[in-house]
Amino acid sequence: MTLVKIASRLFLSLKSPENEEEFVDILEERRLRSDLGHALRTFRPSPYKGGPSCSAADLPKIVLESQHLRYVIATETGASPEEVREEASAILEEMSQNLQLGFIRLLGYIFTKVFKRLFTSINVNMEGLKALQQAIQESPVILLPNHRSYVDFLVISYIMFTYDIPVPVIAAGIPLAGMKIVGAIIRRSGAFFIRRAIGSDKLYWAVMSEYVRTIIKTGFAPLEFYVEGLRSRTLKSLMPKLGMMHMVLEPYFKGEVYDIQLVPISLSYDRVLEESLLALELLGVPKLKESTTGLLKASKVLQDDYGIMHVNFGRPMSVRRLCRGKINLRQYNLIPRDLPQKPRAEAQACVSWLAHLMVRIQEEGSLISPWSLMACLLLQAPTAVLTEQGLPWHQLTEKTIWLRKLALDFGARLNWPAQVPDPDVMSSAVALHHSVVRREAGRVYLVREEEPERKRPISPEEDVIRSAAAVLMMVSYRNQSLHLFVRPALLATAIGVTKTAQRDELFAFFCFLRDVFSNEFIFIPGESSQDFEEACVLLRKCGAVHISEQEVTASDAGLEALSFLQALLQPFIDSYQVMFRFLCEDKVHVFAEKQFLPAVRNLATKLILSGELHTYETLSSDTQKNVLSALRRLETLAKLES
């Protein structure tokens, strides 16, 4: 793609405040009218083909009688067909949803109360919602939200119910089914339960894919699933999982439906309910098992304020159009539709491309808060904010205003209220995040959790982990805007490290970094040139570089932007280097992942205590796992079967 094309693509996607889509606060009306009236409202959605051709109870029967499952049952070895059929039937019983409007109304009533308590507003883009309403009448629709909180799926169903749109069925991890009473309620609210790792269980793949296929073919309801596979503990997008994505596309690949519409949804939180739990999990504290008692205990979160939430419904995207030229559908005619097939390489590549594209669109649709920009800057002064020194408030606010301009130059969708004076916007961001920072005597400090009374003094190692918990919470808010800066940051780093202006040399180094960090940030496979061009255009737009046919030269006026961007990537570079050093120095040849994580954590703690390492992100299990995945992808490490 040429520079001109990239520039016009970016220009088109940059939205000025005037043509920014209108968001409507769906809680406003709820604060004025009766909650019960909302729950009992007439619900008249316009579904696909005028209504589903079967009930929730029919679905498992249709699946069990399908040619596909009959074939799998007949050919499964090691047990009699009756036994296999019984097993398939048990899987379906465990999996099936039983969507009922009465339960949606019940939850609608409860969540109106909960949401009004938690959030100042829940802002939804009405144009996106209208487009969804239309798409649902025309094709099977797949909803693809990003996953940051347990609130995600509640709020989406709530919006659909409020706006008379058919309520979705949702793929949920099986542990949720085990919650007393709650499991049964969410099953009746549209959740169908899937195992988190299926591996090579052929019968399970067959039952699950046939169940999903039947929902799509019969137009039972829109189908929602979380392509990232779990809540991102870092608030950064996760590499998409491909199993479910392949299943939902298969009816189109096999010609069973004319088209399917994919709807990426971006949920952006000012403040995430689970913020401290997620940070602790990253430091190795085990996740609390999903349970009803746990849920009740967590009700203390209701006492706090979580600011504004934005839900951006992306425009429905036709799979038919997206896949044109990407996959040869004739191949599917050569094999009977009902024979089970492991996805072929071409299909896998197409599914992977689409899944990455959806995550990128989720990123582009998300709104960046002033607090996220402030977190980027606070983390670039870790020593000041972690010690009594603190960061001067005026320095933070001046730099944040500068960063807002850079973010807007890069096309950010900012959630920065125009009608409120800038200092007030930043002050209220700090007040909202009282669990992370405190402003005192004109300076800003990181808040470390109060230590419970203890008999012995805290050890230096424990103190590092305490600081790390606070830093990782702040890191997650910085991460909400990383997708905006990452491409120019890779180029800024390439310029800083190589000290060359030669475009081809910079491109080679850019690709190297992009490759190493492909598990850390979302890059669409095969689009490294587009990413490089985008980085060039953005750096030129903010005046950081001059660009000619052969050269990319840093400009004096752009040093501030280049050094900010380089500093943004530095914690990742430092963390990866510590782990590479661990693997090389210790001559570790074979190790278990379970040993690797604590061993790296120990090394990083020592380095932090000795002053050699300044980034607490090295302690995060997410970064550690990403390094292992990257090294496996680059074939530097291999996973041995245990």
Ligand X SMILES: CCCCCCCCCCCCCCCC(=O)SCCNC(=O)CCNC(=O)[C@H](O)C(C)(C)COP(=O)(O)OP(=O)(O)OC[C@H]1O[C@@H](n2cnc3c(N)ncnc32)[C@H](O)[C@@H]1OP(=O)(O)O
Ligand Y SMILES: O=C(CO)COP(=O)(O)O
What is the contact surface with ligand Y in residues (CB under 6 A)? 147, 150, 173, 230-231, 287
Asked if residue 488 lies in contact with residue 532, where contact means CB atoms within 8 angstroms, the answer is: no
Residue number with CB closer to ligand Y (181 or 345): 181
**Contact partner at residue 441 from ligand X, ligand Y, none, CB < 5 to 8 Å by partner kind:** none
Residue 217 touches ligand X, criterion: CB under 6 A? no
Give yes or no for residue 214 binding ligand X (CB under 6 A).
no
Angle ∠(528,532,538) on CA atoms, nearest 5: 145
Q: Whose Cβ is closer to ligand X: residue 227's or residue 426's?
A: 227
**Helix ranges, 240-344 (H):** 243-253, 275-282, 292-297, 319-322, 330-333
Rounded to a whole number of angstroms, the minimum distance from the CB of residue 261 to ligand X is: 19
Nearer to ligand Y by Cβ, of 73 and 247: the residue is 247
Q: Which does 452 bind (CB under 5 to 8 A by kind): ligand X, ligand Y, none?
A: none
- Tell me, residue by residue from 154 to 193, as one string, x for binding to ligand X by CB under 6 A and - for no binding: x--xx--x--------xxxx--x---------x--xxx--
15 binds ligand X (CB under 6 A): no
Q: Which does 289 bind (CB under 5 to 8 A by kind): ligand Y, ligand X, none?
A: none
Q: Which is nearer to ligand X, 26 or 377 (CB)?
A: 26
The SS3 call for residue 269 is strand
Q: Which residues contact 3 (CB under 8 A, 6 or more apart)?
A: 533, 536, 537, 547
Burial of 87 (0-12, 13-18, 19+ CB in 10 A): middle
Confirm if 6 and 530 have CB atoms less than 8 A apart: yes
Owner of token pair 């398939």: 88
- Residue 171, binding choice from ligand Y, ligand X, none, Cβ under 5 to 8 Å by partner class: ligand X
d(CA 12, CA 3): 14
Spell out the residues 6+ positions from residue 422 whose beta carbon is closer than 8 angstroms to its own. Answer: 397, 401
Q: What is the number of other CB atoms lying within 10 angstroms of the CB of residue 627?
A: 26
Give residue 328's identity as a one-letter amino acid code.
N
Q: Give how many residues touch ligand X by CB under 6 A.
A: 37
HSE-up (13 A, CA, CB side) for residue 233: 21
Q: What are phi and psi of 576, to 5 degrees?
A: -65, -40
Q: Could you say which of ligand Y, ligand X, none residue 615 binds, taking C-beta under 5 to 8 angstroms by partner kind?
A: none
To the nearest whole angstrom, how small is the minimum distance from the Cβ of residue 437 to ligand Y?
Answer: 26
Q: Convert residues 299-318 into a mask of x (bound to ligand X by CB under 6 A) and - (unbound).
A: --------------------
Cβ–Cβ < 8 Å for 588, 542: no
CB of 191 or CB of 562, closer to ligand X: 191
Give the shortest CB-570-to-ligand X separation in angstroms.
32
Residue with tokens 């896949």: 323
State how far the Cα of 118 lies from the Cα of 451, in Å rounded to an integer. 27
Give me the amino acid identity at 541. K
Question: Scanning residues 74 to 113, which ones bind ligand X (CB under 6 A)?
Answer: 104, 107-108, 111
CB of 108 to ligand Y, least distance (A): 19
Residue 198 engages ligand X in binding (rule: CB under 6 A): yes
Q: Coil, strand, or helix at residue 535?
A: helix
Residue 198 binds: one of ligand Y, ligand X, none (C-beta under 5 to 8 A by kind)? ligand X
Phi-psi region of 87 (alpha: psi -120 to 50; beta: other; left: phi over 0): alpha
Tell me which DSSP letter residue 258 carries: S
* Contacted by 324, from ligand Y, ligand X, none: CB < 5 to 8 Å by type: none
With CB under 5 to 8 Å by kind, the binding choice for 523 among ligand X, ligand Y, none is none
Give min distance, CB of 157 to ligand Y, in A: 13
**Run of H or E residues at 468:** helix 460-479
CB 583 within 8 A of CB 591: no
| Contact residue for ligand X among 133, 209, 214, 566 (CB under 6 A) | 209
Q: Judged by CB under 6 A, which stretch of 64-72, 135-143, 194-202, 515-523 contacts ligand X?
A: 194-202
Binds ligand X (CB under 6 A): choice among 196, 324, 581, 633: 196
Judged by CB under 6 A, which stretch of 221-229, 417-425, 471-479, 480-488 contacts ligand X?
221-229
- Which residue's CB is nearer to ligand Y, number 182 or number 547? 182
Residues 234-293 that bind ligand X (CB under 6 A): 241-244, 246
**What SS3 class is residue 193?**
strand
- State the nearest-atom distance from the C-beta of 122 to ligand X, in Å: 12
**Beta strand pairing call for 308-313 and 261-269:** antiparallel
Indicate the SS3 state at residue 125.
strand
Which one of 48, 115, 119, 153 is in contact with ligand X (CB under 6 A)?
Answer: 153
Maximal C-alpha separation, the chain: 76
- Find which of ligand Y, ligand X, none residue 251 binds, CB within 5 to 8 Å per kind: none
Nearest approach, Cβ of 85 to ligand X (angstroms)?
19
Query: Which residue lies nearer to ligand X by CB, 244 or 579?
Result: 244
Q: Distance (Å, rounded) from C-alpha 318 to C-alpha 556? A: 45
C-alpha distances in Å from residue 416, one per residue of 27, 370, 412, 421, 424: 20, 6, 11, 10, 11
- Using CB under 6 A as the binding rule, whether residue 572 contacts ligand X is answered as no
User: Which residues here bind ligand X, judged by CB under 6 A?
Assistant: 104, 107-108, 111, 153-154, 157-158, 161, 170-173, 176, 186, 189-191, 194, 196-199, 205, 209, 225-227, 229-230, 241-244, 246, 342-343
